[in-house]
Chains A and B, each alone.
Chain A
Amino acid sequence: MAASGCRGVRSILWKYGSCGKNFCVSRSKTVPQLPVRQICVSSSLWKKNLAAAGPQKFTQEFIDKQVEEFEVGKRHLANMMGEDPETFTQEDIDRSIAYLFPSGLFEKRARPVMKHPDEIFPKQTAIQWDAEGRPFHFLFYTGRQSYYSLLHDVYEKILAIERHQDKMRNKGLFTSETKQILLTGSRWLLKEEIEEYLVENISDHDYVRLIQLMEKLLSMPYCSLEEEFILKFRKQLEAQSSKHEIPALQYDPQGVAFSVADGRRKTAKASITLRDSGSGNITINGRNYLHCFPLLQDREQLMFPLHFVGMLGRFDIEGSVEGSGHSAQAGALRLAISRALLSFVSEGEVERIRQAGLLTADPRIRERKKPGQEGARKKFTWKKR
């Protein structure tokens, strides 16, 4: 085909050959006389086998360059937004990016992001051997050098404490009542967090071994010497109840205390006013709650927060609800009542209410119907052929 094509070209050029011989293309020499068969090749041959290559490696210079570019870009961004480049924090960056590149995507991780390269590029270990191929670390050939070196460190500390103990015994100053490390309100780092710290993958068994060794360290009397080291591997737990916003207690002109709160459940929105020194009347959308919720189950939902706290006949509730169905409205009202109750109740009670699950907003929402299916989960009738 190529040969015929060439002949075609030559024939055309022959016609116009009188125009100028310098147009003549000397292709005939390069093209072989043998017929060339075109081989059809699929694109998978020249695509890289990504899975086999492993995670992408970034060199240290590349990362440094990215960091530089990030800093410069941060200053540019600050200038664009008209703010001071010196005091431009990560929150400001996020805000500006959201403003400059508004995205309608639902997945937050798919939206445009500008963060420090350390947060974007995964942490990688540097080259661990020198130019001659000799590894730097003595435990390199174990395959998991950082994990085993950590175990070694911990064991060394155990030995050090034992030596300290012997010294104290020799001096006669040994006491078992020494300062203990406070461990309440914190937990051991999880396996994923340890992996992140060591930049290495460890198995469940390894993790358990590590925790056992740390516990052994903690069991010794003089472990307070290594407190700093141990606390590096413990994470503080925040008290969840401090996160809840307690609505402010307001007062009527008559001196009656009341609080206002909202609640939501599955498209139903409720907002109520809880008044003190009442007699247990509940008015919803201007009607008695017996008319609004003829079903016993809904009224039980309304009763639950008040009954749990033990203040059934004390409050007057007046509220409005809209949207969704009766069950969702009852759930929304229940959440609103629990939130309003927080301001009438002590701290310990708030924690109890939270643990009862009265303050958690129910995240269940109607699932989307998918194309190719009858509903959210139901499929069309399956026919074998």
Chain B
Amino acid sequence: MLVFFLFCFLYKSRLSLQYDHEKISERHTGQYYTLPAAHIQKLFPHGLPPRFQLQIKTFNEGCVMVRPPALELISYLKKADYSKPPLRYILYGDVGTGKTMCLSHALHYCYTQGWLIVHISDAHLWVKNCKELLPSSSRPSRFDQPIQASQWLKNFKITNERFLSKVQLGYVWTKRERTEKGQPLGELVDQGVNRMKSSSDVVGAVLRELRLQAGGATEGEGAFKLAVAVDGLNALWGKTSLKKEDRTMCEPEELTLIHNVRKMMKNNWSGGAILTALSQTGSLFKPQSAYLPSELLGEEGFDNMEPFVPVSVSNYNEKEFESCYLYYLDRNWLQHSHSRSEEGKKELIFLSNKNPSILERLCAFL
């Protein structure tokens, strides 16, 4: 009976809770809210975990569960003072507990509030499996990754379309090419997308400009808040699996993209927030049991990121598990008749230990 009421409540609230972040508070923990399809297309061309993307495709909607870490993050964002240097938030937790999803939730909040989003979906992709590694055109000791950089610029363009015409800049960044002062950001981004060879430098320029201009104008047309979101933060300070031409290992600092992102991480600018999440799954040379910031970031990374606000993400608690289970039932995802019974539910709890990703994989074949 209780389950039935809870189910009705959840179902109703799932429909009614659109994406009004003002109204979402602690008492909505465990409930699902729908991400509008248009937002998903714009905001997350690359940001969501692949399994979640499959789920969106299957269920024809993207539903995210409201969880305490995300709520905590959003409350900090609401209360922060944006005239001061940005606060750095690190989401950490065990494998599969939902760090990327919480980050996405917070990012969605920022998007609805009209911030400019700089979202690096997985920094690990930049430190491994790179097919082309070119020596940098601007600086001799660095290496460029044209494919990754241009891909990222494309995604950036899709996400922040409305800002591209507004932001003005002027910058000289190669001996041969230069952008005049007063040209919109959009042109710079287009240039980077079209000319692959200098795309990494374009990325650096874009980031630098945004940093300078974020806290610049407090009112008027040029005002915007900058949200820098990095998933897989530990890739910036870890090791790479890329090799230089003389077969020695590449250090992360030698990659232009990584270098620029590291500069973003420093809080010497104002008018925004830095949201990051650690990730062990894509990390190189780290044991599977490591999940704390000190372990995954290493000494160098930890020193660089300090001070930061840690937000821990853990497995589902009872209420959240209940909600997830009912959601799957509602979408007819749990086909097996035994999974609808109490016994089946207990089995699911045991086998997944209320870990979100394992529960999802388990229910996939039920």
Contact = CB atoms under 8 A, between A and B. Distances in A.
A299 interface: yes
B353 A288 contact: yes
A299 B289 CA distance: 18
Interface string B341-362: 0010011011101010010001
A288 to B, nearest CB: 7
B232 to A, nearest CB: 20
A290 B350 contact: no
A303 B350 contact: yes
B337 interface: no
B288 interface: yes
A300 B355 CA distance: 16
Contacts of A313: 346, 349-350
A312 B288 CA distance: 28
A144 B349 CA distance: 68
Nearest to A313: B346
B355 A291 contact: no
A65 B74 CA distance: 99
B350 A306 contact: yes
B182 to A, nearest CB: 56
Nearest to B96: A290
Interface in B47-69: none
Contacts of A312: 346-347, 349-350
Contacts of B353: 282, 288-290
A307 interface: yes
A122 interface: no
A287 B351 CA distance: 16
Interface residues of B, number: 12
Interface in A245-290: 280, 282, 287-290
Contacts of A291: 288-289
A303 B343 CA distance: 12
Given A290-B358, A291-B289, A303 B349 contact: no
B289 A296 contact: no
Interface in A178-203: none
Nearest to B289: A291
Interface residues of A, number: 16
A312 B346 CA distance: 7
Interface centre among B349, B353, B355, by most chain A C-beta atoms within 10 angstroms, is: B353
Interface string A300-336: 1001001100101100000000000000000000000
A278 to B, nearest CB: 12
Contact of A296 (B349, B351, B355): B351
Given A290-B358, A312-B346, A313-B346, A299 B288 contact: no
Nearest to A310: B343
A313 B355 CA distance: 16
Contacts of B349: 280, 312-313
A310 B346 CA distance: 10
Contacts of B343: 307, 310
Nearest to A288: B353
A313 B343 CA distance: 10
A296 B362 contact: yes
Interface string B13-54: 000000000000000000000000000000000000000000
B313 to A, nearest CB: 15
Interface string B248-265: 000000000000000000
A287 to B, nearest CB: 7
B355 A303 contact: no
A280 B350 contact: yes
A61 to B, nearest CB: 72
Contact of B347 (A282, A287, A289, A307): A307
A315 to B, nearest CB: 11
B351 A303 contact: yes
A289 B353 CA distance: 9
A97 B219 CA distance: 101
A300 B347 CA distance: 9
A280 B318 CA distance: 12
Nearest to A312: B346
Contacts of A306: 350
Interface string B279-300: 0000000001100000000000
A363 B232 CA distance: 47
A229 B102 CA distance: 81
Given A290-B358, A291-B288, A291-B289, A299 B351 contact: yes
Contacts of A303: 347, 350-351
A319 to B, nearest CB: 15
A266 to B, nearest CB: 24
A114 B191 CA distance: 98
Contacts of B355: 290
Contacts of A299: 350-351
B171 to A, nearest CB: 48
Contacts of A280: 349-350
Interface string B310-351: 000000000000000000000000000000000100110111
Given A296-B351, A307-B350, A312-B346, 18 more contacts: A288-B353, A289-B353, A290-B353, A290-B355, A291-B288, A291-B289, A296-B362, A299-B350, A300-B351, A303-B347, A303-B350, A303-B351, A306-B350, A307-B346, A307-B347, A310-B343, A312-B349, A312-B350
25 contacts: A280-B349, A280-B350, A287-B289, A288-B353, A289-B353, A290-B353, A290-B355, A291-B288, A291-B289, A296-B351, A296-B362, A299-B350, A299-B351, A300-B351, A303-B347, A303-B350, A303-B351, A306-B350, A307-B347, A307-B350, A312-B347, A312-B350, A313-B346, A313-B349, A313-B350
8 tightest CB-CB pairs across the interface, nearest first? Answer: A312-B346, A290-B353, A303-B350, A299-B351, A312-B350, A313-B346, A290-B355, A291-B289
